[in-house]
């Protein structure tokens, strides 16, 4: 029997929603509550641009049971009628107009219905992309569910099924069209919903093998889920330029819609593990209150789909209060409900154990049918203050429910048990090494009396007290601090030590003289005791007149207490930056043709040699000219011999002189 | 699209060559100019011969050979004088210059003889 989404969403509206107030829950999930409803009013309190936005707002109000403004309804109905009558409406517009109609149940006349149905049927026949299939088939399903037309069937449903199936990929995702290789999880959700629509609109049975392969696709898709540590499970979206809305919230919403609608129209199991369905519910509950309207709608719509689906209905175990006071004799209340807060089937909750605390035994919680909570009221007799992690287990009264519902096998919940911790046996005394205790005063933390003591640097101050829990055991808090403040606002902090049964601190002033900067005078004594599970306090116990010797010359001065606390944030001294002098760069030298007279030795003797060197070379070249003109080889060679020897001698002198000067320059 | 990218690449190549060459020391640049001058002279002689004819052939040969020879000697000088060249670190540039002068004189003697 084909179940339609708008149908059982209307069912949900009829269910009473229980509101629960709760303290901050550490790692538990809470079902939808009153704060969601007020947030919905705020988020959707604006004018809606398109039919899509109108539908999202109306659907959210519907699921949460929030009353919408009356003019919104009439305006939306007008827009719906216009869209359904107009021949220029796109498939998407018609689809969302029908969706809005499903929520508002406007009056739609039969002629426009006929026109719409024929448009949609033609669109199905000629559709080629996934979005065209989705909008046209979705529209026809909506028409059928709103009973606007009887006997509505798809011609060639199996062919349409195959065409949609052809766009699937082996990893479970779907492509948008056969020409575009882009695929996404969001598209997979749309495709599954469209396939569910085809099955519901077909007049005859679709081939079971096709349905079987689709179920395999769903299983493959679920292999792609991402997990958080707290058990939440979601689908990560894909980046896409062409299509927006590919984030995790939208992709997960789309898949949830797809599988719940597919499971609604097919017989047999989808074989999806219950933890994954529960994980999807946890993901959306863990989002809290989204700020964006689209995310809000996606969250609420997904939870509405999960509330009453045929795969497995997730049940959430939540505690209205995780902080319980033993002194006030609070009882621990535990609630099990669906994601939207509706009642769960009859079941029992067992406290299996508390982690790391063997003293707490396994016990069953009593069900209070008036308030629909399970109560544990034996706590204060056996359990002391502290923070624990309780492990709960859910057992259904009817074992058949185990298949239909998805619950966590063992839920771990952090619990704070607080109580009033009594301070007893408090004594403060000034001790003298010779005389023993000079004065001992009993401290009464309840009263307002301040003690007044006097001491000098040879004496000691001793403070002692005990802390007892409501059950009579000694208690060790997180902090026990004693603070002495001088008149000049100089403070000294000491940690009070614990000797198992009691707290004690002894301040030996002889050793503390330097620490106190030799400041004599009146010191205020303040005791701070704090922990998460007790009634923490800090109290001024009294005053101490301390007499310390004079400070020597080199004693450390006490730190200057800033008169104005914010003066340290004033502007600092200006920093002048020193830049390095720029490097000397050689002058830009372009290539010049000329005589390079650099390195011509300036001293007399080497200069003469250098000049002779050049003259010698010139003479040889002149000789060659003569050789060519007149002389013969042998004469030339004779003269060349003489000139060569001379040139060698002179050249050697010059060049070695040059070499020595350049090596001097290099080493210098 | 491909052509303009290769043009751009060659332009970039020339730019980098030019900037790298500007960094060479001046004495090497002078030697390079001398080599260029020698080769240019050789080319002019070849062109002249192609125009006018190769008679007398020995003159042509000696002229071209003198240019090429002095160019080769200048290149050897450049190699030996270049400070970046590690193989010739021990050879003082003045010694290399003396070799250059000597070899050039010998070359020109031979050329003068051959020229006739």
Its ipTM equals 0.80
For A489: left if phi > 0, alpha if psi spans -120 to 50, otherwise beta; the answer is left
**Rg of chain B, C-alpha, whole Å:** 19
- Alpha carbon separation from B77 to A32, A277, B90 (Å, rounded): 92, 85, 14
Taking alpha carbons only, the member of A517, A501, A587 closest to residue A554 is A517
The answer to whether B95 contacts A633, with C-beta atoms less than 8 Å apart, is no
Tokens of A228: 């958080």
CA distance A155 to A294: 35
Taking alpha carbons only, the member of A275, A274, A130 closest to residue A192 is A130
- Alpha carbon separation from A38 to A19, A45, A66, A540 (Å, rounded): 12, 11, 8, 45
| Chain B residues within 8 A of A655 when measuring between CB atoms | 94-95, 97-98
Residue-wise pLDDT tens digits, A432-445: 877 777 777 777 77
Assess whether pLDDT exceeds 50 at residue A184.
Answer: yes
The answer to whether B101 contacts A624, with C-beta atoms less than 8 Å apart, is no
For residue B101, give the chain A residue with the closest CA: A617
Confidence tier at B64 by pLDDT (50, 70, 90) = very high
> Taking residues A230-242, what's their average pLDDT?
80
| pLDDT for res A600 | 64
Question: Which of A628, A633, A640 has its CB closest to that of B115?
Answer: A628
Instruction: Give the best residue of B29, B89, B113 to mutate against chain A (max A CB count within 10 A).
Output: B113
Assess whether pLDDT exceeds 90 at residue B36.
Answer: yes
Confidence tier at A592 by pLDDT (50, 70, 90) = low
ω before B56 within 30° of 0 (cis)? yes
| Chain A residues within 8 A of B105 when measuring between CB atoms | 617, 620, 644
| pLDDT for res A15 | 47
Instruction: Give the best residue of A659, A661, A663, A664 to mutate against chain B (max B CB count within 10 A).
Output: A659
> Taking residues A414-436, what's their average pLDDT?
82
Tokens of B14: 């020339």
> Taking residues B78-102, what's their average pLDDT?
83
SS3 A538: strand
Judging by beta carbons within 10 Å of its beta carbon (0-12, 13-18, 19+), is residue A498 exposed, middle or buried? middle
Residue-wise pLDDT tens digits, A136-163: 888 888 888 888 777 788 888 888 888 8
Tell me the pTM: 0.61
Instruction: Give the best residue of A590, A593, A617, A655 to mutate against chain B (max B CB count within 10 A).
Output: A655
| Chain A residues within 8 A of B100 when measuring between CB atoms | none
Assess whether pLDDT exceeds 90 at residue A458.
Answer: no
**Nearest-CA distance from B3 to chain A in Å?**
32
Assess whether pLDDT exceeds 50 at residue A571.
Answer: yes
Judging by beta carbons within 10 Å of its beta carbon (0-12, 13-18, 19+), is residue A495 exposed, middle or buried? exposed
Confidence tier at A26 by pLDDT (50, 70, 90) = very low
| Chain B residues within 8 A of A628 when measuring between CB atoms | 112, 115
Assess whether pLDDT exceeds 80 at residue A14.
Answer: no
Question: Which of A591, A624, A651 has its CB closest to that of B101?
Answer: A651
The answer to whether B112 contacts A624, with C-beta atoms less than 8 Å apart, is yes
Residue-wise pLDDT tens digits, A271-283: 888 888 888 888 8
Backbone φ and ψ of B25, nearest 5°: -65, 160
**Nearest-CA distance from A655 to chain B in Å?**
6
- Quote the strand ranges of A62-184, DSSP E: 174-175, 183-184
Question: Which of A617, A656, A658 has its CB closest to that of B101?
Answer: A617
| Chain A residues within 8 A of B101 when measuring between CB atoms | 617, 651
Query: Do strands A366-368 and A373-376 pair parallel, antiparallel, or not at all (unpaired)?
Result: antiparallel
**Nearest-CA distance from A3 to chain B in Å?**
59
Residue-wise pLDDT tens digits, A632-648: 888 888 888 898 898 88
| Chain A residues within 8 A of B115 when measuring between CB atoms | 628
CA distance A35 to A45: 15
A235 or A322: which leads in pLDDT:
A235
CA distance A273 to A268: 14
Taking alpha carbons only, the member of A174, A232, A171, A13 closest to residue A103 is A13
Query: Do strands A323-325 and A411-418 pair parallel, antiparallel, or not at all (unpaired)?
Result: parallel
| pLDDT for res B48 | 92
Assess whether pLDDT exceeds 80 at residue A582.
Answer: no
Assess whether pLDDT exceeds 70 at residue A585.
Answer: no
* Sequence-distant (≥ 6) Cβ neighbours of residue A311 within 8 angstroms: A259, A260, A263, A270, A272, A277
Which of A7-16, A213-222, A594-603, B60-69 comes out lowest in average pLDDT? A7-16
B1 or A61: which leads in pLDDT:
A61
Assess whether pLDDT exceeds 90 at residue B43.
Answer: yes
Contacting A residues, span 587-646, partner chain B, CB-CB under 8 Å? 589, 591, 593, 596, 617, 620-621, 624, 627-628, 633, 636, 640, 644
Would the CA dihedral through A644, A624, B64, B24 be positive or negative? positive
Question: Which of B33, B97, B105 has its CB closest to that of A655?
Answer: B97
Q: How much is the mean pLDDT over chain A?
A: 81
For residue B27, give the chain A residue with the closest CA: A596
Question: Which of B29, B33, B94 has its CB closest to that of A655?
Answer: B94
| pLDDT for res A588 | 45
| Chain A residues within 8 A of B92 when measuring between CB atoms | 659
Assess whether pLDDT exceeds 70 at residue A421.
Answer: yes
- Quote the strand ranges of A319-473, DSSP E: 323-325, 332-338, 347-354, 363-364, 366-368, 373-376, 386-396, 405-406, 411-418, 422-432, 436-442, 451-456, 459-468
Interface size between A and B, measured as CB pairs under 8 A: 36
For residue B28, give the chain A residue with the closest CA: A591
Query: Do strands A386-396 and A411-418 pair parallel, antiparallel, or not at all (unpaired)?
Result: antiparallel
- Alpha carbon separation from B5 to B2, B8, B12, B13 (Å, rounded): 5, 5, 10, 12
Tokens of A436: 């023993």
DSSP single-letter state for residue A549: P
Assess whether pLDDT exceeds 80 at residue B37.
Answer: yes
| pLDDT for res B33 | 92
Residue-wise pLDDT tens digits, A81-128: 888 888 788 888 888 888 888 888 887 888 888 888 888 888 888 888
| pLDDT for res A7 | 57
Residue-wise pLDDT tens digits, A383-416: 788 888 888 888 888 888 888 888 888 888 888 8
CA distance A508 to B63: 110
| pLDDT for res B39 | 95
CA distance A486 to A544: 9
| pLDDT for res A16 | 44
CA distance A305 to A303: 5
Assess whether pLDDT exceeds 60 at residue A47.
Answer: yes
Confidence tier at B67 by pLDDT (50, 70, 90) = very high
A17 or B41: which leads in pLDDT:
B41
Assess whether pLDDT exceeds 50 at residue A22.
Answer: no
Assess whether pLDDT exceeds 70 at residue A23.
Answer: no
| pLDDT for res A20 | 39
For residue B29, give the chain A residue with the closest CA: A591
> Taking residues B24-47, what's their average pLDDT?
90
Q: Which residues pair with A427 in a beta bridge?
A: A442, A464
The answer to whether B108 contacts A621, with C-beta atoms less than 8 Å apart, is yes
| pLDDT for res A586 | 45
The answer to whether A633 contacts B97, with C-beta atoms less than 8 Å apart, is no
CA distance A560 to A564: 11
Q: Which of A508-522, A533-547, B31-45, B102-116 has the highest mean pLDDT?
A: B31-45
| pLDDT for res A589 | 47
Confidence tier at A598 by pLDDT (50, 70, 90) = low
**Nearest-CA distance from A659 to chain B in Å?**
6
Tokens of A316: 């959430």
* Sequence-distant (≥ 6) Cβ neighbours of residue B41 within 8 angstroms: B67
**Rg of chain A, C-alpha, whole Å:** 46
| pLDDT for res A38 | 86
Tokens of A604: 């007399």
Instruction: Give the best residue of B34, B98, B102 to mutate against chain A (max A CB count within 10 A).
Output: B98
The answer to whether B95 contacts A655, with C-beta atoms less than 8 Å apart, is yes
> Taking residues A253-261, what's their average pLDDT?
89
CA distance B100 to A358: 101
Q: Which of A2-11, A614-623, B18-27 has the highest mean pLDDT?
A: A614-623
CA distance A498 to A477: 10
Taking alpha carbons only, the member of A220, A406, A441, A215 closest to residue A307 is A406
| pLDDT for res A565 | 60
Contact A176, A187 (CB under 8 A): yes
SS3 string of A303-321?
A: HHHHHCCCCCEEEEEECCC
Residue-wise pLDDT tens digits, A272-314: 888 888 888 888 888 888 888 888 888 989 888 888 888 888 8
Judging by beta carbons within 10 Å of its beta carbon (0-12, 13-18, 19+), is residue A192 exposed, middle or buried? buried
């Amino acid at each position: 029997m084909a179940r339609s989404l708008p149908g059982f969403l209307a069912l949900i509206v009829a269910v009473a929603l229980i509101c629960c107030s709760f303290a901050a829950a550490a790692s538990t999930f809470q079902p939808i509550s009153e704060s969601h409803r007020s947030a919905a009013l705020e988020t959707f309190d604006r004018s809606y641009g398109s039919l899509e936005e109108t539908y999202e707002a109306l659907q959210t109000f519907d699921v949460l049971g929030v009353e919408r403004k009356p003019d919104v309804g009439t305006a939306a109905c007008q827009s719906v009628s216009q869209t359904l009558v107009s021949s220029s409406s796109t498939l998407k517009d018609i689809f969302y107009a029908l969706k809005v109609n499903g929520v508002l149940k406007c009056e739609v006349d039969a002629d426009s219905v006929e026109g719409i149905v024929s448009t949609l049927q033609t669109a199905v026949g000629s559709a080629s992309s996934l979005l065209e299939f989705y909008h046209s088939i979705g529209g026809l399903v909506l028409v059928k569910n709103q009973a606007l037309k009887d006997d509505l069937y798809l011609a060639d449903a199996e062919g349409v099924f195959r065409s949609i199936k052809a766009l699937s990929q082996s990893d479970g995702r779907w492509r948008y069209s056969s020409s575009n290789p882009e695929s996404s999880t969001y598209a997979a959700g749309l495709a599954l919903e469209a396939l569910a629509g085809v099955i519901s609109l077909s007049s005859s049975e679709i081939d079971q093998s096709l349905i079987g392969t689709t179920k395999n696709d769903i299983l493959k898709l679920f292999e792609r889920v991402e997990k958080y540590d707290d058990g939440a499970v979601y689908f990560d979206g894909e980046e896409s330029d062409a299509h927006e809305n590919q984030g995790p919230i939208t992709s997960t919403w789309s898949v949830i819609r797809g599988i719940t609608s597919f499971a609604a129209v097919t017989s047999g199991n989808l074989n999806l593990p219950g933890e994954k369905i529960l994980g999807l519910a946890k993901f959306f509950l863990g989002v809290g209150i989204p700020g964006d309207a689209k995310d809000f709608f996606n969250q609420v719509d997904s939870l509405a789909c999960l509330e009453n689906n045929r795969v497995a209905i997730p049940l959430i175990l939540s505690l209205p209060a995780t902080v319980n006071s033993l002194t006030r004799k609070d009882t621990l209340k535990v609630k099990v409900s669906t994601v939207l807060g509706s009642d769960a089937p009859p079941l029992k909750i067992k406290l299996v154990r508390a982690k790391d605390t063997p003293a707490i035994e396994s016990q069953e919680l009593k069900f209070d049918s008036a308030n629909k909570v399970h109560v544990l009221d034996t706590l204060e007799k056996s359990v002391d203050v502290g923070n624990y992690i309780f492990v709960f287990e859910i057992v259904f009264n009817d074992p058949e429910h185990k298949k239909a519902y998805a619950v966590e096998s063992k839920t771990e919940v952090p619990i704070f048990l607080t109580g009033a911790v009594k301070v007893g046996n408090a004594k403060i005394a000034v001790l003298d090494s010779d005389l023993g205790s000079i004065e001992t005063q009993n401290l009464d933390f309840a009263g307002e009396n301040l003690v007044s003591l006097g001491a000098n640097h040879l004496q000691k101050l001793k403070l002692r007290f005990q802390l007892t829990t409501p059950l009579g055991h000694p208690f060790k808090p997180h902090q026990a601090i004693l603070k002495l403040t001088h008149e000049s606002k100089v403070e000294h902090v000491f940690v009070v030590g614990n000797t198992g049964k009691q707290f004690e601190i002894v301040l030996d002033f002889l050793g503390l003289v330097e620490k106190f900067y030799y400041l004599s005078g009146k010191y205020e004594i303040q005791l701070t005791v704090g922990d998460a599970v007790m009634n923490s306090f800090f109290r001024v116990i009294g005053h101490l007149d301390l007499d310390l010797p004079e400070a020597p010359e080199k004693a450390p001065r006490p730190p200057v207490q800033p008169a104005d606390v914010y003066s340290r944030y004033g502007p600092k001294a200006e920093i002048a930056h020193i830049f390095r002098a720029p490097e000397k760069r050689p002058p830009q030298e372009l290539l010049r043709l000329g005589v390079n007279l650099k390195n011509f030795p300036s001293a007399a003797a080497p200069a003469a040699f250098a000049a002779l060197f050049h003259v010698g070379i010139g003479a040889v070249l002149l000789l060659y000219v003569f050789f060519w003109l007149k002389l013969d080889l042998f004469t030339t060679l004779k003269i060349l011999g003489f000139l060569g020897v001379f040139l060698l001698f002179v050249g050697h002198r010059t060049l070695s002189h040059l070499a020595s000067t350049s090596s001097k320059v290099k080493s210098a | 699209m491909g052509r303009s990218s290769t043009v751009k690449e060659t332009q970039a190549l020339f730019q980098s060559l030019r900037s790298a060459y500007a960094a060479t020391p001046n004495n090497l640049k002078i030697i390079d100019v001398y080599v260029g001058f020698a080769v240019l002279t050789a080319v002019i002689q070849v062109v002249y011969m192609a125009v006018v004819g190769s008679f007398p052939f020995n003159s042509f040969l000696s002229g071209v050979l003198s240019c090429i020879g002095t160019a080769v000697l200048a290149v050897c000088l450049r190699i030996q004088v270049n400070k970046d060249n590690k193989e010739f670190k021990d050879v003082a540039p003045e010694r290399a210059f003396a070799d250059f002068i000597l070899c050039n004189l010998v070359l020109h003697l031979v050329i003068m003889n051959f020229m006739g």
